Amino acid sequence: MIRISAYHSPRCFGYSGASAGAAICKIIRDAGPISRAELGRRTGLSKSTVSLHVERLLNLGLIAEEATPSGKRTRLVFNREAGYVVAIDLGVTSVDVALCDLGGTIIRHEERSIRVSDGPEIVLSEIMAVIDAILSENQVEPGQLYGIGMGIPAPVEFSTGYPINPPIMPGWHKYPLRKILGERYQCLVYIDNDVNLMAVGEMQYGVGRGEENQIFVKVGSGIGAGIILNGKLYRGAKGCAGDIGHISLKNSEELCPCGNKGCLEMVASGRALARLGTKLALEGESHALRRILDEGREITAKDIGDLASQGDLLCVSLIRMSGEAIGEVLAGLINFVNPSLIVLGGGVAGLGGRWLTTIKEVIYRKSTPLATRGLEIRFSELKSKAGVIGAAALVVDEVFSIDRVTQMVSQEG
């Protein structure tokens, strides 16, 4: 079961110059600035062979030379400024669109209100209008856009980029997002589940750096998880891994639209908090919540968080209830996965310390001592930007994969 697949891949033996060049590009991207001599040591290739590949990558503009502190121009860096990628994080009621350099750094970030329920044609045309505006404002020439990465709040078949039977996105099933964006912008397009991309963002640039086995839990309107195992995003057999919102709770009989009773989302999500808060307000259980309705506003999870932090006991108990439910489900998953890190993100994570403390308390009580040894449980560091940063990371890694760069080098060479 220990397969070292790349070793018996044809490209690994007697690889063409192009794929050696691509691998050198990857080393420079991961470990640069780096000297030609160090590249030689790491690859075992001769000085002249390294120089040949470096020359080609310089010609392609993928790498650049950088002055060392002593002033000699001998170290090589990945040329983040050689082009751009666009990162998109689609939510239920808003979309984030960012223009990024090839290092995944955000150059320009726009957020727009949309309604995913309007269907893919309308939403996609709104997104493309934002992309067009950003590209034009930043004078991005055709050919400078290397790729688009997009997260959507639905299960995704990653190989095709199709949304698959998305429960909250009627009309999006198998909608050809990749084809439409690819033809319009003439670049590579990668689509993934939004929470998967948040997990990738936190792993590469956030609180999860260096952790090989981590679970990102998004608690917003709904609840989902992104799973990083052995340092890689794990998507599951059909692309819907991490769907934890409908795991059943111990002491809950709340009926869920999915047909089951006691689903996590019915008690712990932002939507659940808002619903329960509204119910208590209408029943006259909470004057503070009632006042919000009387002002003509809808009660949100944030209202409940604000009131709880002011000491409103009913709101404190609602937040504890959410934390306990999430802790209970995570306790089981932690026994199963034995991760080293849990990252909590999404709007409800903004409710703060009391919520997190409850979750930790339940996990440490209910998980086995072995499974929680060395386990960290933390808030997301990238917060609302986790998704768009993850989308940028995904597209950059895909565009500059060994295979893709091999193609670029072959066409050049």
Question: Using CB under 8 A, which residues numbered 182 to 241 contact a copy of itself?
Answer: 200, 203-204, 212-213, 225, 227-241
How far apart are CB 377 and a copy of itself at their closest, in Å?
13
- For a copy of itself, give the closer residue by CB, 58 or 240: 240
21 touches a copy of itself (CB under 8 A): no
Q: Judging by beta carbons within 10 Å of its beta carbon (0-12, 13-18, 19+), is residue 77 exposed, middle or buried?
A: middle
How far apart are CB 390 and a copy of itself at their closest, in Å?
9
How many CA atoms lie less than 13 Å away from 198 in the CB half-sphere? 34
Footprint of a copy of itself on residues 45-74 (CB under 8 A)?
A: 45-46
- For a copy of itself, give the closer residue by CB, 164 or 321: 164
Q: Judging by beta carbons within 10 Å of its beta carbon (0-12, 13-18, 19+), is residue 146 exposed, middle or buried?
A: buried
107 touches a copy of itself (CB under 8 A): no
How far apart are CB 376 and a copy of itself at their closest, in Å?
10
DSSP label at residue 255:
B
262 touches a copy of itself (CB under 8 A): yes
383 touches a copy of itself (CB under 8 A): no
143 touches a copy of itself (CB under 8 A): no
Residue 366: Cβ within 10 Å count: 17
Q: How far is CA 150 from each of CA 106, 112, 161, 297, rounded to the nearest angstrom? A: 14, 15, 9, 33
Q: Are strands 214-219 and 156-157 parallel, antiparallel or unpaired?
A: unpaired
Q: How far, in Å, CA of 283 to CA of 198, rounded?
A: 38
Which of 57, 62, 187, 244 forms a contact with a copy of itself (CB under 8 A)? 244
168 touches a copy of itself (CB under 8 A): no
- Nearest alpha-carbon partner for 50 in 64, 68, 33, 38: 38
Q: How many residues bind a copy of itself (CB under 8 A)?
A: 88
Footprint of a copy of itself on residues 23-42 (CB under 8 A)?
A: 23, 26-27, 30, 41-42
Q: Which stretch binds a copy of itself (CB under 8 A): 91-99, 138-146, 282-290, 391-399?
A: 391-399
- Amino acid at the residue 391: A
- For a copy of itself, give the closer residue by CB, 134 or 393: 393
370 touches a copy of itself (CB under 8 A): yes
Q: Which two tokens mark 412? A: 């050049």
- For a copy of itself, give the closer residue by CB, 55 or 403: 403
77 touches a copy of itself (CB under 8 A): no
- Gyration radius (Cα) of the chain, Å: 24
Residue 326: Cβ within 10 Å count: 29
DSSP label at residue 310:
T
